[in-house]
Structure 1
Amino acid sequence: MIWAAALLLIFVSYGDSEDYCYDEPHCDPYAWGDMFPSCHPLLEEHHSPINLDHHMTRNESLGSLHLEGFDVIQTGHWTIKNDGHTVVLQVGSGMSVSGGGLPDVYHTIQLHFHWGGPATNGSEHTVDSRRYPMEMHVVNMKSIHPNVTAALHDPTGLAVLGFFIDVVYADNVHFGLISQKLSSVAYKGQTTKIKPFPLMHLLPKHNMSQYYRYYGSLTTPPCSQAVVWTLYEVPIYISWSQLAQFSSQIFSTEEDAEQVTPLQNNFRHIHPTFSRIVSASKDGRLLAGTSSRPLGSDVSLRLLPIILLGSFVSGL
């Protein structure tokens, strides 16, 4: 469909840009405003990501979102791509998001990931100023727009569902459908096909009524303030080895691979909420009792170097 192709083209063009990065002072997130004026936080007040804390209000009208098509196997094939900044799963048409206080129906386009490194967590949003190991974003475009150019000029043009990812000992079988494909997209521009599966299998399906809502921006250039954010309270759980696959097997260039410099810490820094209202859904816990570290984070940071070393030795 035209809207899907247009949005996909724009997201690919962002990924193909050489103008921003995460690890060099001249092009890292603090320098994005020099190249993309709308990324400058001093000029705008609705940037993402933000920190989630107890300074929020409960909104009794925020019930569960309706995720159309998330529980069935879509036709055709999906594509996984390394765009130089993240790993993108392009899901095509057939799924949509509505309800839960969203102003319209939004078509699901893609999902992608943000992660840290062997000694750092890498979620974009934080909870009580603490990061989770990873974060997954499911990107959806408002159905009334013909293309993403129009959507990016609408303060609610995109709806992004954010899921924290934490670590446990056992592999996540469904997540493995993605992580096992990473070696096929090691370098920027590489793509591989993947057989569709019910996307709901990735999500914390028994806790989908617990989330937080605020209005913000894209977390990558051009940082357009066009996103309705829905951040789910209960994380997705994967294994330490699955986490390590992201932080050790994805490279921006072949030169990075030759120098064993994988893509890591691909997250934007936290921005103030200013006067924005951050709401908890009617079943959200308002972060009560969540001041402790996210489950497994400290342990994962201690064990990741051991896991990475083991993977290296096994490959010798």
Structure 2
Amino acid sequence: MTIWTAVFLMVILSYIEADDYCYNEPYCDPYAWGDFFHSCHPLLEEHHSPIDLDLHMSRNTSLDALQLEGFEEVQGGHWTLENDGHSVVLLVGSGMSVSGGGLPGLYHTLQLHFHWGSPATNGSEHTLDSRRYPMEMHIVSMKSIHPNVSAALDDPTGLAVLGFFIDVVYADNVHFNYISQKLSTVAHKGQVSKIKPFALMSLLPKHNLSQYYRYHGSLTTPPCSQAVVWTVYEVPIYISWTQLAQFTSQIFSTEEDAEQVTPLQNNYRHIHPKFSRVVSASRDARVLLATAGRPVSPSVVLGLFHVCLLGLLTLVP
């Protein structure tokens, strides 16, 4: 090893330690995370996320709609919106919880965050029958028996994450404006802004919350702890092209005074094998199981037509 190679490696290692991880540089992107975070290495039979939600699943009739306590209410105080250099995170404080729907306990909701692509690429973490959506939103909740997240990460079911695909139409989602209109205040890494609480349910496809897919997996960011009960909903949230562009073009992974400003784009982890894991469709899940040769009702056909039409709209530049 030459002295210059050694110096280069020292610089890279110091950068990794200071900045944790990245998405777009070979030395710190998701394929390299295992070099610096042991639990991110996708060893055989380990339960990593995200995965492709394909036709190889069975229906579990015991999986009904989750109980989302406090999601219909406007919480007191203020919430905090933050750019942590890897995503935009909304810290929602206390007052909301998730339970039921086959979850092993009560989970207190902590935060939600987003994953997205670029102006030319989609960026959801999970894929639905190999389709990647423009964005994905994760609502993160911690099992109530744990005093903190560190303790929860040692429990295979310590966290419950609700995943929502985000698709694009032409009209603004007025409820999503609660977040999108504040993005300019957290455009750069490290910026924090107060946000007025709103009913979180207003963001969600509330008439389709009994339609989802369930599996056990991991965090999709370091330390990639295999401590997550995933609930991924099949009906997406819809936002406008303008609202999508606020993420893909106007959020940066660098600080405001950085010499070179870098857009935060394609902040998603690659798809991982399911191996022997069981992936279940909820009692009312429709899209994937309907396409597997089962009888399809007229209402499902209409729903599939709507999904396909909106999918075509996302291809329009």
Task: Report Cα offsets for 1:2-54 as digits up to 9, x if no partner.
Answer: xxxxxxxxxxxxxx961210000000000000000100002552000000011
CA distance in 1, matches of 2:305, 2:219: 27
Tell me what 2:172 maps to.
Answer: 171
Contact 2:169–2:313 (CA<8 Å) still a contact in 1? Answer: no
CA distance in 2, matches of 1:22, 1:294: 30
Tell me what 1:47 maps to.
Answer: 48
**Percent of paired sites with the same residue:** 78
Measure how far apart 1:148 and its partner are. Answer: 1.1
**One-letter code of the match for 2:139?**
V
Is 1:300 the equivalent of 2:314?
yes
Q: 1:26 to 1:204 in 2, by over 3 A?
A: same
Tell me what 1:205 maps to.
Answer: 206
Contact 1:120–1:133 (CA<8 Å) still a contact in 2? Answer: yes
CA distance in 2, matches of 1:37, 1:146: 24
CA distance in 2, matches of 1:293, 1:274: 29
CA distance in 2, matches of 1:111, 1:178: 11
Contact 2:79–2:197 (CA<8 Å) still a contact in 1? Answer: yes
Contact 1:58–1:281 (CA<8 Å) still a contact in 2? Answer: yes
Please, which moves more after superposition, 259-268 or 46-55? 259-268
Contact 2:110–2:142 (CA<8 Å) still a contact in 1? Answer: yes
Contact 1:120–1:301 (CA<8 Å) still a contact in 2? Answer: no
Tell me what 1:75 maps to.
Answer: 76
Q: CA RMSD, aligned part only?
A: 2.0
Secondary structure in structure 2 of the residue aligned to 1:183: helix
**One-letter code of the match for 1:47?**
H
Secondary structure in structure 2 of the residue aligned to 1:246: helix
Tell me what 1:66 maps to.
Answer: 67
Q: 1:256 to 1:35 in 2, by over 3 A?
A: farther
TM-score by length of 2: 0.87
CA distance in 2, matches of 1:105, 1:56: 26
- Structure label with greater radius of gyration: 2
Task: Report Cα offsets for 1:158-184 as digits up to 9, x if no partner.
Answer: 000000000011000010110111110
Contact 1:130–1:293 (CA<8 Å) still a contact in 2? Answer: no
Is 1:262 the equivalent of 2:276?
no
Tell me what 1:84 maps to.
Answer: 85
Secondary structure in structure 2 of the residue aligned to 1:21: coil
Measure how far apart 1:298 and its partner are. Answer: 5.4
CA distance in 1, matches of 2:84, 2:183: 12
User: Within 5 A, what are the aligned runs for 1:136-175?
Assistant: 136-175=137-176
Is 1:119 the equivalent of 2:120?
yes
Contact 1:108–1:138 (CA<8 Å) still a contact in 2? Answer: yes
Q: 1:65 to 1:230 in 2, by over 3 A?
A: same
Tell me what 2:57 maps to.
Answer: 56
Secondary structure in structure 1 of the residue aligned to 2:265: coil
Secondary structure in structure 1 of the residue aligned to 2:175: helix
Q: 1:294 to 1:166 in 2, by over 3 A?
A: farther
The number of equivalent residue pairs is: 288
**One-letter code of the match for 1:172?**
N
Secondary structure in structure 1 of the residue aligned to 2:243: helix
Tell me what 2:190 maps to.
Answer: 189
CA distance in 1, matches of 2:144, 2:259: 43
Tell me what 1:102 maps to.
Answer: 103
TM-score by length of 1: 0.87
Contact 1:166–1:295 (CA<8 Å) still a contact in 2? Answer: no
Measure how far apart 1:300 and its partner are. Answer: 3.3
Measure how far apart 1:254 and its partner are. Answer: 3.6
Q: 1:293 to 1:116 in 2, by over 3 A?
A: farther
Task: Report Cα offsets for 1:174-198 as digits up to 9, x if no partner.
Answer: 1011011111001111000110000
CA distance in 1, matches of 2:306, 2:132: 11
**One-letter code of the match for 2:177?**
G
Task: Report Cα offsets for 1:80-104 as digits up to 9, x if no partner.
Answer: 0000000000000000000000000
User: Within 5 A, what are the aligned runs for 1:224-243?
Assistant: 224-243=225-244
Q: 1:265 to 1:195 in 2, by over 3 A?
A: same
Measure how far apart 1:296 and its partner are. Answer: 3.8
**One-letter code of the match for 1:124?**
E
CA distance in 2, matches of 1:138, 1:42: 27
Measure how far apart 1:150 and its partner are. Answer: 1.2
Task: Report Cα offsets for 1:130-168 as digits up to 9, x if no partner.
Answer: 100000000000000111111101000000000000001
CA distance in 2, matches of 1:295, 1:187: 35
